[in-house]
Amino acid sequence: MGAMLRFVPIIFAVAVIVTSILLAISSWRQAAQLRRERADLRELLARVKDIAWDQRELDPSLSTIIIDEIRTYEKKELGK
């Protein structure tokens, strides 16, 4: 019984290390996914802005509003 008690701190330390590693991997994956999502969002905004610019002959004021809103969002939320 006494021999078993000597291993409890070691087992606990190994469990803490493994848990820390798993949490670090999970955080890294979440950060990578967030970077991909931000890149996708920037690409979508660029496409919408291009479409609004290309269609400005149909409704210049609406195109201007859309482009201005996208630029405001980019500056405020995406730090562009």
Residue-wise pLDDT for 38-60, tens only, equals 899 889 989 998 999 888 888 88
Between CA 13 and CA 16 the distance in angstroms is 5
Above pLDDT 70, what percent of the chain?
Answer: 94
pLDDT at position 80 over 60: no
Higher pLDDT, 15 or 6: 15
Angle between helices 2-54 and 60-73 (to 10 degrees): 160
